[in-house]
Structure 1
Amino acid sequence: MQSIAIVILGIIGMMFGWFVYSKFIASRIFKLDDSFVTPAHTEQDGVDFVPTNKVVLWGHHFTSVAGAAPIVGPAIAVYWGWVPAVLWVVFGTILFAGVHDMGALWASSRHKGKSMGALSESVIGKRSRSLFMIVIFLVLLMVNAVFGVVIANSFVSQPNAVFPAWMAIAVALVIGQLLKRNFALVPLCLVGIAVLYASVYFGSYIPISLPETMFGLADKANWIIILFVYAAIASLLPVWMLLQPRDFINGMQLLVGLFLLYGAVFFSLPDITAPAFNTQTAIDSPSLIPLLFVTIACGAVSGFHGIVASGTSSKQLDKETDARFVGYLGAIGEGSLALITIVAVSGVAFAASPEEWHEVYSHLGAGSVGAFITGGANLIQQGWGLPVDFSSTILAVMVVLFAGTTMDSGVRLQRYIIQEWGDIYAINLLKNGVVATLLAVGCCLLLAFGAGGASGSGGMIIWPLFGSTNQILASLTLLVISVMLIKLGRPAKYTLIPMVFVLVMAFFAGLIKLKEYYLAENYLLVFLDAVVLVVSVLVMLEAFSVVSKLKKDEKRESLESEG
């Protein structure tokens, strides 16, 4: 019965964020203007810069930023208790993530669709631009290399998910062509969802597996290579052809998944077996503060969102006012997924008793995607009466499709970063889309197989850095937005306060991890963690210098006018 209270209070909070807070930020702080001509129109090229219906763009943005992170983070963070996890997801979504994502869209659209790293030059300075882009590239490298492993693992462990995952691509290609020919969006959406779920059903009877060994590599490694070949091709296709329709269909199937999960809570009214605050944590467990705030990123606030918002979404923004719908509502979608994940791994659908729950959550990191699929499938079975195997396949496909869309967008974003470096440093070769894509995929595969050997799991080696690095990136994005607001003479406290909070938590989490890596003699992570921490400090100092100069100029102008 406790679960229904969590869900209702969470929904009320997010409705307040959408109907009240986001309107205030959009109209009074960012001052979104329909008359402003967005880069999707001024830079239109039919490939990356394409004016897009806000509903379709919401689907792209939402599924690109979601990935598996709003599932994995909350499913792990429940280890400290469901109360802190729920509070951070709800308040993080309302006050942090929505403002961060909408602000990144607004800032990028006001700077010709540049990424946050590139536009930081005109907002803060040249030195900050170079430092910022290092952090962005590192985060993208982590995400792409690791999500390749996540999807490959899912294909190996859940062969029933392979057919519907690839079928979704075929459906998206057809829908993209039909939308280009002005077919109605709603009927196409309904047909696409129907075909997708039919493929989920047939996938249960058509498991697809690669040979255990092929070309001297294991099946997982071969899947990783196949996925990166696909991602390279997808990143070069016009966004209307595959990226937009695929992400939109995935967004719609997520809504179906959320409907099933939330509906199951209302129908079955499950009790919570997880503790509100876990007092039985392992002796060597890290503290709730600051680790909670880097464990749950997507679903509260995430720097990766700023990369997507300023990398792909801003290039497709038809009207500037659409930034609220795409950015803030996208954050609410993620928060909703994170909230129901917490319920799924905290209730009787996952563990019948507190003792059983503690057996699973014996240490930090014990719960993850597997816990969500198990708890969610049982919850759907209890609420709707659907078979557990079918429900498990639905949720597994949802995770795979999310990870796949994030990987698609991630490789495209890496290509943008490399092309921006070509513009910045006048290297014409890097401006070429094919060359930039090959370099992006090459870096990911080099990390995957160079550091991980024949398994292709090299991305996992640096993945522990993602939490703190990603949140430091979120704080840097909020910093750029804040400096823009200060330069425009607008209130910046609505972005500065979240920025300071996230930076402090992420920085101290990075220091804790730095000590942990040093004691474990993992000097690669020590080096990379130290680089990220130093870069963040330097960017902050550069920004404070700019703000200080602005304040001095204002004071001088005020004195001169009075004199």
Structure 2
Amino acid sequence: MAVSTPVWLTLGALGLFYLGYRFYSKFLAEKVFRLDPDFQTPAHQFRDGVDYLPTNKFVLWGHHFSSVAGAAPIVGPAIAVIWGWGPALLWVVLGTLFFAGIHDFGTLWASVRNKGKSVGVITNRVIGSRAKGLFLLIIFFLLLLVNAVFAVVIANLFTQFPASVLPYWLQIPLAMTIGYLVYKRGFPLFWPSIVGLLLLFAFIFLGASAPVNLPETIAGMPMTGWWVIVMLLYGAIASRLPVWLLLQPRDYINSHMLFLGLGVLYLGLFITQPEFNAPFLNDQVPEGTPPLVPLLFVTIACGAISGFHGLVSSGTSSKQLDKETDARFVGYFGAMGEGLLALIAIMATAAGFAGINQWQEHYGAWETASSGGTAAFVTGAGQLISGLGISSAIGTTFISIMIVAFAATTLDTSMRLQRFILSEIGEQYHLAPLKNRNTGTVVAFLSCVVLAFLADPSNPGQGGMVLWPLFGTTNQLTAGLSLIILTLLLWKWGRQYLVALVPLIFVVGMTAWSMVISIMDYIEQGKTLLVVVGVMILALNGWLVLEGLLAANRQRSKTLGQNPPA
């Protein structure tokens, strides 16, 4: 039997991923970052058992990967296929190897070398206190969008796929039990995590047989609104728990589930041998579809390069890194894991549909494609899984649980990061209450609720989606700003900085261009709120880029070749 084109391309992409990790990440680790196995990491220096805790690199990779994955590397590529599978595939592969790798790996290393501080605080040292304040505000806004929107995504999935409700909530006490057994009773991690994974799959069958169907409205509010409140409250509580109790064991189980899920999907691709329904380059895109360039590079963020990854690297992962040399595995390979997810999302949506008519029906309008990324992936993935003889009910439940689990992981990691950022804002502007963990958690929770409910009073709980069009551009601009910091650090310390500078120029240029196009569209559509917020974000980022250029000019007069702080 002849091998289909999608299978050949997938094998080629996997080969490039292997070569990238084998050679390019090694070059970054040894020649650029010069990782030191004897360097005392913040996890040891500030160990408190809550946020700072030396962690096995495989466990930490599970947390890092689960936190950055979420639903975005599925939704973004599923939408971008409307322009054709070729541009999406090229951006995912090249973006993972040369953009996400240096960004995620680099921000993790930079944070470890700066006492586990976030990129926002590192900005103070590299550029100045004024730039630090600006960056912290941008990061807070990005995290606010992440929290509010992901809560809405999960709420919609619970409503659309009620079989996913029970397995998700049963996973939480399971993960906490594993955390207790490993960290308090001294059990080795491997077998409890394997048992936990098997139980999780048993929960999937339980959920499929006992879906949780709730009323459409309760007390006059849609059920999705109640789910948003529940998920944000859960995220706030989870963000205050010690990382060993829920965050690490749950993320480790999730990483196993995702790899098993990826294995099933890739195996389904290789067995079903589908052909592409989508064109390589779609020259007949529906009316109203934005231009391929530059919108492709913000539509696919997670899975190529994402500013949120830098916040995770410098927010939670850097505080748990046992050895500095583990940063290569956690940071670079973590980015590759998300690239694998984005790759199969492209194949599922470009070749997984039952036929070209079904594909054209879904991608026949920009509104359908942009709002139905998750549905497109579930449809295509279900088609691939069917080749393994798995029933549609079990397959759909499994895929929805996979998406919900990673979206929820991103949610509570983001809530923890938001607390960190509020504490750093409190230090920057001498606001003592924000430095308190409990106060910061409450402020983070309430701000997300306000956005979710007041941004669109006519649709309670869905308000986060009003600002969603700005998420992609804000996310990528944040990645560009993190690359500015990394470039200046490498230049200051006499390292090879072009590995960060080239991605920086590309990302900032494409993203600013995309933001301008979006603002012009909002003006034409009369969306005043989006215009105001978009202009504000673009102005703040432009200001920070200018501050970076001024810092680079100041650096010219200083002697290069300084060593990083010990």
- TM-score with structure 1 setting the length: 0.96
Match of 2:281 in 1: 277
1:340 CA drift (Å): 0.5
In the TM superposition, 1:225-264 aligns within 5 A as 225-264=229-268
Q: Distance in 2 between matches of 1:542 and 1:149?
A: 35
Match of 1:373 in 2: 378
Of 83, 103, 106, the match for 1:103 = 106
Match of 1:561 in 2: none
Q: Which stretches of structure 1, 4 residues or more, deviate above 3 A after TM superposition?
A: none
Of 59, 66, 69, the match for 1:56 = 59
Of 531, 534, 545, the match for 1:529 = 534
The residue type paired with residue 532 of structure 2 is F
Q: Does 1:485 align with 2:485?
A: no
Of 393, 398, 404, the match for 1:400 = 404
State the Cα deviation string for residues 96-150 of structure 1 (Å, max 9, x = none): 0011001010011111111111111011111110111111111101110011111
1:381 CA drift (Å): 0.9
Match of 1:176 in 2: 179
Match of 2:92 in 1: 89
Q: Distance in 1 between matches of 2:78 and 2:16?
A: 21
Q: Does 1:358 align with 2:360?
A: yes
Match of 1:201 in 2: 205
1:212 CA drift (Å): 2.7
Q: Distance in 2 between matches of 1:213 and 1:81?
A: 39
Q: Does 1:506 align with 2:508?
A: no
1:351 CA drift (Å): 3.5
**Among the aligned pairs, what percent are the same residue?**
48
1:58 CA drift (Å): 0.5
1:46 CA drift (Å): 1.0
Q: Distance in 1 between matches of 2:54 and 2:115?
A: 13
Q: Distance in 1 between matches of 2:286 and 2:250?
A: 42
Match of 2:304 in 1: 300
Q: Distance in 2 between matches of 1:138 and 1:319?
A: 32
The residue type paired with residue 260 of structure 1 is V
The residue type paired with residue 74 of structure 1 is P
1:273 CA drift (Å): 1.4
Match of 1:38 in 2: 41
1:534 CA drift (Å): 1.2
SS of alignment partner, residue 210 of structure 1: coil
In the TM superposition, 1:406-485 aligns within 5 A as 406-453=410-457, 455-485=460-490
Q: Distance in 1 between matches of 2:53 and 2:559?
A: 39
The residue type paired with residue 318 of structure 1 is D
Q: Give structure 1 stretches of 5+ with no counterpart.
A: 558-563
State the Cα deviation string for residues 146-204 of structure 1 (Å, max 9, x = none): 11111111111111000111111111111110110221121112101100000001110
Match of 2:320 in 1: 316
1:211 CA drift (Å): 2.9
SS of alignment partner, residue 35 of structure 1: coil
Q: Distance in 1 between matches of 2:97 and 2:379?
A: 29
Paired residues of 2:287 and 2:366 also in contact (CA < 8 A): no
Match of 2:127 in 1: 124
State the Cα deviation string for residues 435-494 of structure 1 (Å, max 9, x = none): 100000000001111112252111101110011111000010011011000110111000
The residue type paired with residue 230 of structure 1 is Y
Q: Distance in 1 between matches of 2:435 and 2:289?
A: 47
Q: Distance in 1 between matches of 2:44 and 2:358?
A: 56
1:44 CA drift (Å): 1.0
Paired residues of 1:99 and 1:328 also in contact (CA < 8 A): yes
Paired residues of 2:92 and 2:342 also in contact (CA < 8 A): yes
Q: Distance in 2 between matches of 1:352 and 1:34?
A: 53
1:553 CA drift (Å): 2.9
Paired residues of 1:155 and 1:209 also in contact (CA < 8 A): no
The residue type paired with residue 143 of structure 1 is V
Q: Distance in 2 between matches of 1:34 and 1:344?
A: 41
Q: How well do the aligned residues superpose, as a CA RMSD in angstroms?
A: 1.3
1:424 CA drift (Å): 2.2
State the Cα deviation string for residues 49-88 of structure 1 (Å, max 9, x = none): 1111110110111111111000000000000000100000
1:324 CA drift (Å): 0.8
1:269 CA drift (Å): 1.4
Q: Distance in 2 between matches of 1:386 and 1:97?
A: 34
Match of 1:541 in 2: 546
Paired residues of 2:37 and 2:323 also in contact (CA < 8 A): yes
In the TM superposition, 1:543-558 aligns within 5 A as 543-554=548-559
Of 162, 166, 169, the match for 2:169 = 166
Q: Does 1:152 align with 2:179?
A: no
Paired residues of 1:72 and 1:368 also in contact (CA < 8 A): yes
Match of 1:218 in 2: 222
Q: Distance in 2 between matches of 1:463 and 1:220?
A: 17
State the Cα deviation string for residues 334-363 of structure 1 (Å, max 9, x = none): 00000001101111x31412x432222112
Q: Distance in 2 between matches of 1:478 and 1:554?
A: 22
Paired residues of 1:41 and 1:51 also in contact (CA < 8 A): yes
The residue type paired with residue 414 of structure 1 is Q
Of 505, 516, 523, the match for 1:518 = 523
Q: Distance in 1 between matches of 2:192 and 2:420?
A: 30
Of 69, 75, 93, the match for 1:72 = 75
SS of alignment partner, residue 244 of structure 2: coil
The residue type paired with residue 462 of structure 2 is S
Farther-moved stretch of structure 1 (426-435 vs 168-177)? 426-435
Q: Distance in 1 between matches of 2:548 and 2:236?
A: 35
Q: Distance in 2 between matches of 1:240 and 1:356?
A: 45
Paired residues of 2:76 and 2:301 also in contact (CA < 8 A): yes
Q: Distance in 1 between matches of 2:320 and 2:214?
A: 37
Q: Distance in 1 between matches of 2:554 and 2:451?
A: 42
SS of alignment partner, residue 52 of structure 2: coil
SS of alignment partner, residue 430 of structure 2: coil
Q: Distance in 1 between matches of 2:396 and 2:157?
A: 12
Paired residues of 1:60 and 1:247 also in contact (CA < 8 A): yes
Match of 1:138 in 2: 141
Q: Distance in 2 between matches of 1:451 and 1:468?
A: 19
